[in-house]
Chain A
Amino acid sequence: MSDVLDSFLVRAALAGVGVAVAAAPLGCFVVWRRMAFFGDATAHAAILGVALALALALPITAGVLFVALAMALFITWRGDGHSVDTALGVAAHSALALGLVAVSFLEGVRIDLNAFLFGDILAVNRVDLAVIWGGAFLVVGLIAVRWQALLTSTLNEDLATAAGIDPKKEQLVLTLALAVVVAVAIKVVGALLISAMLIIPAAAARPLSHTPVAMALIAAAIGTAAALGGLFASWRLDTPTGPSIVCAAAVIFAATRLRP
């Protein structure tokens, strides 16, 4: 018996949309809180997670989730969270380099590193799809439930504290969501371009939005359009899919900026 999921293009499209939906609301917070570098560091650490998973014969998702979470928590707790630009830059690139070196040490494992750096959306199988959509529901649910508290502590931590909200706990919610997004997005756009899927749709949605909720929804729509448009372009032009999706997002970003 065959169904629509037998088509690799359908699976790729569903995977791309899943990542876009998961990344959009989190991406808005990344933009509002100026956490772009934080996202980069966490995503780059994912390569180390890939190496770890391969060495221990664990599922890739589990290895990536673990290392991304460890990296995000490390950055969150190492300082006061502000003016850590340099520290994040060091962490982001060290994690990536360390991951690449670690992968080279794995004997008898031949892996296509490109697939993890830039994604391999056309190779997404049914299990991957379940993981991606499971992660998307988790992230969107988590952010939706904590929305008001997250937004308040993003605006001003003291205002949040006065209202009985613990800003550190809200930061932890975002950290957790970031690790999950990295784990589900690595197969689709790759470690190097994950933060692009967080930031570009959110930034493109900004000029079109008058409320925070609208910005998250519009970002999800833009991310979805970019995923489908990029996939289509990659299929027609025979270009790498992950980068094509990010290019599509960048084109939409430019278009919303040029709007009169």
Chain B
Amino acid sequence: MSLVKIEGLGVSLGGQPVLHHVDLDLIRGEIVTIVGPNGSGKSTLLRTILGAIRPDKGKITRAPGLTIGYVPQILQVDKALPLSVRTFLDLPKKVSNAQAKDALDRVGAADLSRRQLRDLSGGQMQRVLLARAVIGKPDLLLLDEATQGLDQQGSAEFYRLIEELRRDMGCAILMVSHELHVVMAASDRVICLNGHVCCHGTPEHVASAPEYRALFGSGTQGALALYRHEHDHAHTHEHDH
């Protein structure tokens, strides 16, 4: 059974159409990545699934009692707001110290508990946001450009962490990213978005689809070549050229 089923979704922001005719089906335990150029509606799609944006066409069916963990693209904490990592984990539902410790351990941030949120580095903040997102053992984890501001090693580690979380908790993970090659290696399915779904399927399929190449063209050739070199021989192909 799908966790989230999207049919014929259309979304406009400020009168401008952002998404049209988007279909998407998410099932438990899979990692799905949305890639697409700037302004292609990636974050909008995520926020619509979240319920923060009301679609003007189509429908979204969420599994009954679906719980969502969300990692925003960026969390700006006003300097007037004193907030420690531990207190942040209590929002909106208070958690026990054991639960807080477990969540921070999971993401390798056990030593950050007493730190103020404002004082964290980019990588530490991402881990803490992830810890808070997984604390209620959600059915679905939504990540919006979660590796923004991390160096290559940092984001590679981050994706390993995501993979571990999926294994341990069995949740579905839907993420938005621009780091095509890393993301593709870490995903079960890739959706290439540009206002609508250009192409989708296994990472290999998408990487070789002409629609995808038209969007990402020469700029990513090096990375993709590397990726294809590593993976072309290891999997059976479903694309036809």
Interface residues on A, range: 20 to 34
* Minimum CB–CB distance for A190 against chain B, Å: 25
Give the residues in chain B near A152, CB-CB below 8 Å. 91-92
User: Taking the complex as formed, is B90 at the interface, i.e. its CB lies under 8 A from any CB of chain A?
Assistant: yes
Of the candidates A160, A209, A214, the one whose C-beta lies within 8 Å of that of B92 is A160
Given the known inter-chain contacts A148-B93, A152-B92, please indicate yes or no for A161 contacting B50, CB distance below 8 A.
Answer: yes
- Asked if B110 is an interface residue, CB under 8 A from chain A, the answer is no
- Closest A residue to B88 using CB positions: A155
Asked if A162 contacts B50 (CB within 8 A), the reply is yes
Bound form: Cα–Cα A163–B92 in Å: 7
Contacts of A158 in B (CB 8 A): 47, 50, 52, 70, 72
Residues of B within 8 A of A202 (CB): 80
* A215/B70 contact (C-beta < 8 A), A148-B91, A156-B75 known: no
Interface flags, A159-170, vs B, CB<8A=1, else 0: 111110100000
Known: A148-B92, A156-B75. A211 touches B50 (CB 8 A): no
Q: Is the CB of A212 within 8 A of B92?
A: no
Give which listed residue, A148, A157, A206, A210, contacts B52 with CB less than 8 A. A157
Establish whether residues A211 and B84, one from each chain, have CB atoms under 8 Å apart when the complex forms.
yes
1/0 per residue, CB under 8 A from A, across B59-73: the answer is: 000000000111010
List residues of chain B with CB within 8 A of the CB of A33. Answer: 78
> Chain A residue with minimal CB distance to B81?
A32
Q: Are A162 and B80 in contact (CB under 8 A)?
A: no
Contact indicator B72/A32 (Cβ below 8 Å): no
C-beta contact mask, B74-105 vs A, less than 8 Å → 1, else 0?
A: 01011011111001101111100000000000
Residues of B within 8 A of A149 (CB): 92
Chain B CB within 8 A of A23 CB: no
Q: Are B80 and A159 in contact (CB under 8 A)?
A: no
Contact, CB under 8 Å: B142 / A162: yes
Q: Which residues of B contact A161 (CB under 8 A)?
A: 50-52
Q: Contact partner of A159 among B72, B78, B94, CB < 8 A?
A: B72
Task: Return chain A residues, CB-CB under 8 Å to B116.
Answer: 210
- A71 at interface, CB cutoff 8 A: no
In the assembled complex, the Cα of A161 lies from the Cα of B47 at a distance in Å of 9
B82 touches A209 (CB 8 A): yes
Instruction: List residues of A (133-186) whose CB comes within 8 Å of B's CBs.
Output: 148-149, 151-152, 154-163, 165
Complexed CA–CA distance, A232 and B68 (Å): 54
Residues in chain B near residue A206, CB distance under 8 A: 80, 82
Instruction: Indicate if the CB atoms of A148 and B90 lie closer than 8 Å.
Output: yes
A102 in contact (CB, < 8 A): no
New A-B contacts (11) at CB < 8 Å, excluding given A157-B52, A162-B142: A32-B78, A151-B92, A152-B91, A152-B92, A155-B91, A156-B72, A158-B52, A161-B52, A162-B52, A206-B82, A211-B87
User: 5 nearest interchain CB pairs?
Assistant: A162-B70, A152-B92, A152-B91, A161-B52, A148-B92
Q: List 12 A-B contacts (CB under 8 A).
A: A148-B92, A149-B92, A154-B81, A155-B75, A156-B75, A158-B50, A160-B92, A162-B51, A163-B92, A163-B93, A209-B82, A210-B84
